[in-house]
Amino acid sequence: MKTRTLSRVVVLLALFSSCLLANAEGLSAFKLRNGATVYIWEDKSQPDVYGMVTFNVGAIDDPAEYTGLAHYLEHVMFKGTQTIGALDWAKEKPLYEQIIAKYDEMADAADQQAKDAIGLEINKLSVEAAQYAAANELSLLVDGMGGQNLNAGTGWDQTSYYNTFPPTQLEKWLELYSERFIDPVFRGFQTELEAVYEEYNMYKDNMGSNLSEFLFSKAFEGTPYARPIIGLPEHLKNPRLSRLIEFYNTWYGPENMAIILVGNVDAQTAIPLIRQKFERLPRREARAHAAMDRTLFKGRKELSEKLYYRPFLVMMYNGAPSNSQDEIALSVCASLLSNNQESGLLDKLSVDGDIMGASVSPVSFRNAGILMVQAFPSYDAGQRRYDSNKSVEKKILHEIDRLRNGEFTAEQLEAVKQAMIREYDMSMESSEFKAMMLASLFNTGSNPADIITYRDRVAAITADDVKAVVDKYLTNNYMVVNVQELRGDRKSEKLDKVAKPGYQPVEAVKGAKSAYAQYLESITVPAPVPEYCDFASVQEAKVNTRSKLSYTHNPQNDVFSLTLRYGVGKRRMPLLEYAVPLMNDAGIMAFLAPHDFKQAMARINATCHYSVSDDYMTVTLYGDERSLQQACQLLQRQILMPQLDEKQLQSIIGSEYSARMMEKESVESQQQATLQYLLYGENSDLITRKPLKDVIFLTITDLTKAFQEATKYEFTAHYVGTIPFEQVTDILSRNLPLMENEAPSLSPEVEDRVQYAENTIYFLPNDKAKQSNIYFLIEGKPFDIADDVLLEAFSSYFGAGFGSLVVDEIREKRAMAYSSYGVIQTPQLAGKNWCFFGYVGTQGDKTIDALDVYMGLLADMPEAREHFDVVKANMRESVLSHKPGFRSRSLVFEHWKRLGYTQDPAIDDMKRIDSLTFDDIVRFYQENIKGKPVAIAIVGNPKSFDVKELEKYGKVVKLQRSKLYSDDSLDF
């Protein structure tokens, strides 16, 4: 950025900020003297603050010969600095410098034996250096101030670090987050290397991740956007720590940084603190991103690849980058084709059953963009085959031609624009969304005022604007990818892994605090002013004999939400699994065809959706509050007189067929099936569901009857809006489908888990799995609200968060997993059992080692009283921030009441937290965890570890895939 005089900056920012504040209800923006950008968005309705520091650098800035650096750097930026986590930097520094040099030496080594020898030297140095560092100090300091959801993310164009925190902790957060970017020290790089590789393996077991990686490699071929963010495996295994430091020094300067605060923050208080803390970072010369030119699609290019569990078509057109003037118009164009209201041209094909589904997604980055169309062919259950992708392509092109020819009305265009604005308004209720939007605008070089003017810019789009972008982008220049079924074609891949060289665990000093930590803790913060949830803020009224309204006032916008929760679900009415999705494509008998119904809803800026769970059938209605009565009237007629046809049923059957075929190929699906078997045995939903041959013979009559039977149960109408309570009660009482003699709700019902009398290990072999996914279960006792603080405290201490025992022992010390945890899961109803539930995802050859460590923690829990002090401080500071947003408030209150609470849990929890002692944690462990039967489920590759060694943990039961699912043979 061009340097300007301070006086000119002040004048410009004053003009800019005053304009922003006048239009944005609390948004302000300014620059610090060192070039850093600051955004503050005040919203006093929020209970906490969402804090973020984002950098204008991402995976596209990785050197071609060292991909993955941006993502690696994100990981090690949690390891502290020359002050954070430093017990004796003078002694640690020479060891750290030797480690850096050794990584250069290892990268230059010619053969693997030499590399392995140097790796052992690095391990020795790392173990020694760890004696001068405090373990996980950064995350513990965040925990100590009541911080929640500490994390970071790397994209192609940006890298962001963030967490939420109580408003009273503003000064501490600003102090810590500024300090963490001054003189960072990349401790534990050797273990973090393996953790990143575990993340890489996790993605390789995910079919969706592999599909996205393939599509991006083709769409952006020849540019850094074609590379995976995590990096290429050959680079991950041969890192240079010196290049990582160079990358930090190049890109992590203030000119490349934005500090973002959203939520319950006061700008006048924050601004001087931000200047004091962040202007310590020295100005650096801004680094320009390398220029790149993506080769645009020319003509039609076709590819075919076996990538997914069912066939579908992807059409990729040239698109607009994120800061393009065409971006909004192209989004409107995409919505005219397909949208959440299903009122678009392609949506009609789906609703009418001509295809199984379609979506249109603009994908925009700083330097490139594409428009991606995805469509699934219809399925003929009688012939047991899909329509061809070629046929689907013709149908898609026909609808695009209709758009090009202007075959849409002014009313349809206006409906699409109003829906986009409504969805934006609802998204803006979230502090996280606002922060992410600001980060994206900063990192793509867009005007931050765009976040304010979005509604006006959408509203200003004309039919001519739409035609212009159709002519510019939706041309004959595109790439077609015929995604084909795997169907047994996916061969077992050679495991791409980091060798297990016998490194010693890297154990930093426990219990010790750096001088910086002691300084941070000494900062005086204001005492929090308790503000508790008031159950009376949700008003209730009867709307039928049993059914009731729960009303919450919307303080932010004019978008209403109405959620009807009927007290029955799949558990009692299995046919609802197929009947309810069918309602999403229903019309109104003798009145509106299915797509006409969608458009009728769209014209009044409303949309509805049907869903079903084990316990509830749910109908959700969103819209402009002025249209509430009309929307309810349309919904009422659809529920009472749904118009359904055979083609829609075929789509439901085709979706179910595809999903069950996926189970043969998807590692993720088999993990879920094994977990369900661990929990419920032969009562697993995947075993007791309808066999596929019965699904194929379902009829419209059967499903319509099942749906209408479900509507005879009592419901709760959760309404959020601005219309007065009495008026809403009247509208809903007159315009909802109210049945006489409603059946009483018995939901939710909590299914009993399998009881284990001895340690039991279920093992499902899968030679395609790159990781072993390991689940742990210990049955608990009936839940009592008097124990809620103790249960949460044990979870935090044992296995939730960066500082917990599980994460420290398995990830930080030994790099056995990218993801690991162990927590207490509470039930939906008082009196039902809680349970301990744990997980580790680890490289196959580390399976036994990971089990040894985890089972060791369960058998003999380490007592780290200093960590308990952090847990208690976090709970004390954060308990008042645990408040539901206004959209979910009535649902959360309902849940609390089912558990036995008669007031905000925080009222009593504050007292329980103050009286909680470490002895309580130890006693809970000894009475409920130690020595109890542990049930374990593992999905992994039997070629990567000695399966017989599992026997040392208990009785081993080898599972067969076919036994985890219902009979899906189609032999009649």
Domain annotation covers residue 780: yes
Which residue in the block uniquely carries the two structure tokens 């689940």? 775
Question: 719 and 783, same structural domain?
Answer: no
Phi first, then psi: give them for residue 386, nearest 5 degrees: -90, 155
The pLDDT tens digits of the residues spanning 577-600 come to 999 999 999 999 999 999 999 999
d(CA 853, CA 191): 16
Q: How confident is the model at residue 501 (pLDDT cuts 50, 70, 90)?
A: low
The pLDDT tens digits of the residues spanning 647-698 come to 889 989 988 988 888 887 788 999 999 999 999 999 999 999 999 999 999 9
Question: 213 and 80, same structural domain?
Answer: yes
Q: Could you tell me which residues are beta bridge partners of residue 713? A: 743
d(CA 607, CA 599): 9
Evaluate if residue 910 carries a pLDDT over 50.
yes
The model's pTM is: 0.93
Which DSSP symbol is given to 52? E
Evaluate if residue 154 carries a pLDDT over 90.
yes
Question: 346 and 242, same structural domain?
Answer: no
The token duo for 488 is 């047994």
Which residue, 144, 14, 121, 130, is CA-closest to 80? Answer: 130
Q: At what angle do helices 788-798 and 865-878 cross, to 10 degrees?
A: 130
The token duo for 218 is 């083709």
Q: How confident is the model at residue 487 (pLDDT cuts 50, 70, 90)?
A: low
- What is the rounded end-to-end Cα distance, in angstroms, of the chain? 71
Beta carbons within 10 angstroms of residue 484's beta carbon: 16
Strands 606-612 and 617-624: antiparallel
The token duo for 776 is 């742990």
Domain annotation covers residue 382: yes
What's the domain count of the chain?
A: 4
Which alpha helices (H) appear in 664-800, and where do they start and end? 667-680, 685-688, 692-696, 700-710, 725-735, 788-798
Give yes or no for a contact between 888 and 718, defined as CB atoms under 8 angstroms apart.
Answer: no
Question: 608 and 477, same structural domain?
Answer: no
d(CA 761, CA 401): 58
Domain annotation covers residue 8: no
Residues found in the chain: 972
Give yes or no for a contact between 739 and 712, defined as CB atoms under 8 angstroms apart.
Answer: yes
Strands 760-765 and 935-940: parallel
Q: Could you tell me which residues are beta bridge partners of residue 314? A: 374, 481
The pLDDT tens digits of the residues spanning 329-378 come to 999 999 999 999 999 999 999 999 999 999 999 999 999 999 999 999 99
- Coil vs helix vs strand at 847: helix
CATH of the domain at 212: 3.30.830.10
Domain annotation covers residue 684: yes
Question: 215 and 327, same structural domain?
Answer: no
Phi first, then psi: give them for residue 617, nearest 5 degrees: -100, 130
Evaluate if residue 496 carries a pLDDT over 60.
no
d(CA 886, CA 892): 10
The pLDDT tens digits of the residues spanning 850-894 come to 999 999 999 999 999 888 999 999 999 888 888 999 999 999 999
d(CA 964, CA 969): 14
Domain annotation covers residue 263: yes
d(CA 25, CA 19): 11
Name which of 262-266, 528-532, 583-587, 605-609 the model is least confident about. Answer: 528-532
Domain annotation covers residue 11: no
d(CA 765, CA 561): 46
For residue 972, what pLDDT is reported?
54
Which residue, 115, 107, 110, is CA-closest to 65? Answer: 107
Question: 573 and 703, same structural domain?
Answer: yes
d(CA 161, CA 291): 26
Name which of 191-195, 215-219, 486-490, 609-613 the model is least confident about. Answer: 486-490
The token duo for 575 is 């046919």
Three-state secondary structure of 514-571 = CHHHHHHHHCCCCCCCCCCCCHHHCEEEECCCCCEEEEEECCCCCEEEEEEEECCCCC
The pLDDT tens digits of the residues spanning 20-35 come to 333 356 899 999 999 9
Beta carbons within 10 angstroms of residue 22's beta carbon: 10
d(CA 672, CA 764): 11
Which residue in the block uniquely carries the two structure tokens 């017990």? 87
Which residue, 127, 102, 285, is CA-closest to 191? Answer: 127
d(CA 105, CA 124): 15
For residue 953, what pLDDT is reported?
96
Which structural domain range is residue 189 located in?
32-291+506-522
Which are the contacts of 797, defined by CB distance < 8 A and separation ≥ 6?
804, 805, 867, 868, 871, 921
The pLDDT tens digits of the residues spanning 547-574 come to 999 999 999 999 999 999 999 999 999 9
881, burial (CB in 10 Å: exposed 0-12, middle 13-18, buried 19+): buried
Question: 122 and 66, same structural domain?
Answer: yes
The token duo for 152 is 């970071």
d(CA 688, CA 690): 7
Residue 610: HSE in the Cβ half-sphere, 13 Å Cα cutoff = 21
Evaluate if residue 744 carries a pLDDT over 60.
yes
Residue 529: HSE in the Cβ half-sphere, 13 Å Cα cutoff = 1
Evaluate if residue 498 carries a pLDDT over 60.
no
Question: 685 and 793, same structural domain?
Answer: no
For residue 946, what pLDDT is reported?
96
Task: Assess whether the previous peptide bond of 748 is cis (omega < 30° from 0).
Answer: yes
The pLDDT tens digits of the residues spanning 516-558 come to 999 999 999 998 888 999 999 999 999 999 999 999 999 999 9
Evaluate if residue 492 carries a pLDDT over 60.
no
Which residue, 804, 841, 809, is CA-closest to 824? Answer: 804
Q: At what angle do helices 594-603 and 410-427 cross, to 10 degrees?
A: 70
Domain annotation covers residue 495: no
Name which of 121-130, 167-176, 610-619, 659-668 the model is least confident about. Answer: 659-668
For residue 582, what pLDDT is reported?
95
For residue 17, what pLDDT is reported?
34
For residue 927, what pLDDT is reported?
98
Which residue in the block uniquely carries the two structure tokens 């509208």? 731
Which DSSP symbol is given to 657? H
Question: 416 and 279, same structural domain?
Answer: no
Give yes or no for a contact between 422 and 454, defined as CB atoms under 8 angstroms apart.
Answer: no
Domain boundary among 493, 522, 551: 522
Distance, C-alpha 728 to centroid of its chain: 34
The pLDDT tens digits of the residues spanning 701-742 come to 999 999 999 999 999 999 999 999 999 999 999 999 999 989
Q: Edge-to-edge, what's the strand order for the sheet holding 257-263?
A: 27-31, 37-42, 257-263, 49-55, 159-165, 148-154
Question: 518 and 545, same structural domain?
Answer: no
Question: 514 and 420, same structural domain?
Answer: no
Which are the contacts of 198, defined by CB distance < 8 A and separation ≥ 6?
771, 815, 816, 817, 818, 819, 841, 842, 843
Average pLDDT, the chain: 92
Task: Give me the mean pLDDT over the 284-292 stretch.
Answer: 86
Q: What is the largest CA-CA distance in the chain?
A: 83
Task: Give me the mean pLDDT over the 403-426 stretch.
Answer: 97
Question: 700 and 786, same structural domain?
Answer: no
Domain annotation covers residue 680: yes
Which residue, 52, 93, 6, 3, is CA-closest to 181? Answer: 52
Distance, C-alpha 682 to centroid of its chain: 31
The pLDDT tens digits of the residues spanning 89-134 come to 999 999 999 999 999 999 999 888 999 999 999 999 999 999 999 9
User: Residue 481: which H helix or E strand, with range?
Assistant: strand 478-485
Residue 484: HSE in the Cβ half-sphere, 13 Å Cα cutoff = 11
For residue 23, what pLDDT is reported?
39
